[in-house]
Structure 1
């Protein structure tokens, strides 16, 4: 696409460079930026590079995230580009839950009173999120858009199969922000103290952290595979901690039971966000499905082994392989009914079955990567 075409495409804004996509002229006099990104931990982490780019492009601006309570807890426990988190009210397609019209009206009145200069939508295709963003009353708006979504001042097409951090960086480019990092970088915040349950080991042996959960149960590696891996790691003398929220306690406890080793324990449901950050930060390797804790470990600079459905590799897989290994299952149909599982997103058909689509990933190859990364981590610590 030529510069003249881009100028017409983006409402007369001049292209000033190429990032993930076109980087357009910056907006003038931007001192207050708001970013809309609900969803889970992974969804937030995918947006961190875009927010870092926006902060670099507008260094004097404050950046407010409209997110979830979990996002607020994570950003309180880490150093990030975000200055403030405002928790989203329940709203269709933005934050699931029972809407309260009065609460929504009060929220938007508060947001409009803040007089944001730039509002950035990295929440999805825009069917629900673009009208939500427009109600904030910002002077400028940028974001993604499907054909049926309300238009913003500058938009890029939302096509499901795109790496999520790069998608958000493409949106940031519409606001004149060049990439600073291609993937999220976080660090534990000052004053985040590991809880006693994290500190009650002497740390003499490498720690492998496992997370067996995922929002979509089809993305979960079978418990038996995690247990076999945990037992193998324990036999090598590694400590193994299995993590998860309270809804994942049963998964974690079953892994501990099947592994049958004193070196394997469950911390599921026992850690707050600061505790999870503290634990992941001291791990030698984190093993997980395509889920928030694995993405968080990667952002903290911890080596990871990820178990992914092939389609999710496109959207969420780590870009590098020196510290992050990926094992992909090339399943394209539901194991029970044969429906095409590659059709994803809001309008995709979804059968009633929750069969794992990553069950074909073998334990041995995951174990070999864990051993390799533990050796790398140990060597780096000893150097």
Structure 2
């Protein structure tokens, strides 16, 4: 299968979008002369800034009652002959159905096979890494090999300038703390993040705390409990600025959420805290990362998702987080 104009619809979550970067890199390698567009949700298109794998980034939504039909007209204007759907949703497939592409490729699930021209059977193994999940789709669809499965992002000059402004007055490469997560059950407590901050600052390490727009209260709580830590939300951090900050960080301590994947994709050391979400769903390869599991002794055929009470985030000790940071952080 070949393509002259290809549109790749990416996942809407930050972490999942990052985990799709090996697919973009592989498609560019397989189709060096094709015009490749990346369709992303509004607000996270910044993730792909600086990338050479796609010719352009297209903002899509597929939300609301009319979303699939509204976006379909936008997609038709792209004149893509091939559309690859990485998300699993029926709604996304419905929007793509009316986009005019000759080939519409995606996993056959959620009853959407009738909307696609080329369906791939999803893997049955569980847990199955999202990186491998996306890679397997394009491998089977295009008969190519996604041999390099490293996640990767580029920091632009503008994002570097934003980072320098956000880190004004910060000494050396900072320890970045990310206490938020979309699911509250995946969050280590603000008190524990603050304890790590206080210990780190006592050892001479600068500390900054980041979060999304809806996590201001959580970030404020950490900073209040750790005087001297810098609140990046107060300084106006956005996704591009966060990329620049993480690229310059000594280490990131984070729950299992988007900034983890951004830091890993920028070759920044990461300590990731896992509770009632199995780490095997989001395995990253060739990254500088230490995983701290709330329950590290589950059997191989048991998922953390199935045992939320045994995998409470508060079972992760502060001293273990401090030691993990010490073992992996890069020095200024």
The TM-score range, normalised by the shorter chain, is 0.7 to 0.9
Structure 1 consecutive aligned stretches of length 4 or more whose deviation exceeds 4 Å: 353-356
Helix, strand or coil for the counterpart of 1:254? helix
**Partner of residue 137, structure 2:** 171
Alpha-carbon deviation of 1:135? 2.6
TM-score normalised by structure 2 residue count: 0.87
**Partner of residue 182, structure 1:** 149
**Partner of residue 7, structure 1:** none
CA distance in 2, matches of 1:281, 1:155: 36
Q: 1:83 aligns with which of 37, 40, 55?
A: 55
Q: 2:13 aligns with which of 40, 44, 51?
A: 40
Residues 62-98 of structure 1: CA distance to partner in whole angstroms, max 9, x if unpaired? 221221122212223x43523222222343xxxxxx3
**Partner of residue 162, structure 1:** 128
Residues 327-372 of structure 1: CA distance to partner in whole angstroms, max 9, x if unpaired? 112399xxxxxxx98369xxxxxxxx99983221111111111011
Residues 285-335 of structure 1: CA distance to partner in whole angstroms, max 9, x if unpaired? 0110111111101101101000113643111133347x2100112399xxx
**Partner of residue 54, structure 1:** 27
Q: 1:139 aligns with which of 102, 106, 113?
A: 102
**Partner of residue 300, structure 2:** none
CA distance in 1, matches of 2:167, 2:129: 36
**Partner of residue 267, structure 1:** 232
User: Residues 259 and 80 of structure 1: is their aligned pair in 2 closer, same or farther, counting only changes over 3 Å?
Assistant: farther
TM-score normalised by structure 1 residue count: 0.76
**Partner of residue 252, structure 2:** 286
Alpha-carbon deviation of 1:199? 3.8
Task: Spell out the pairing of 1:114-153 with structure 2 (5 A cutoff).
Answer: 114-124=78-88, 126-146=89-109, 148-151=111-114, 152=116, 153=118
User: Residues 341 and 237 of structure 1: is their aligned pair in 2 closer, same or farther, counting only changes over 3 Å?
Assistant: closer
Q: In terms of Rg, which structure is larger?
A: 1
Helix, strand or coil for the counterpart of 1:248? helix
Is residue 283 of structure 2 the alignment partner of residue 328 of structure 1?
A: no
What is the aligned residue count? 321
RMSD of aligned residue pairs (Cα, Å): 2.8
User: Residues 137 and 343 of structure 1: is their aligned pair in 2 closer, same or farther, counting only changes over 3 Å?
Assistant: farther
Task: Spell out the pairing of 1:207-286 with structure 2 (5 A cutoff).
Answer: 207-260=174-227, 262=228, 264-268=229-233, 270-286=236-252
Residues 150-188 of structure 1: CA distance to partner in whole angstroms, max 9, x if unpaired? 253131315563100111110110223321521211121
Is residue 38 of structure 2 the alignment partner of residue 71 of structure 1?
A: no
Q: Does the 8 A contact of 1:32 with 1:61 survive in 2? A: yes
Alpha-carbon deviation of 1:106? 4.4
Q: Does the 8 A contact of 2:80 with 2:101 survive in 1? A: yes
Select between 184-193 and 363-372 the one with higher mean Cα deviation.
184-193
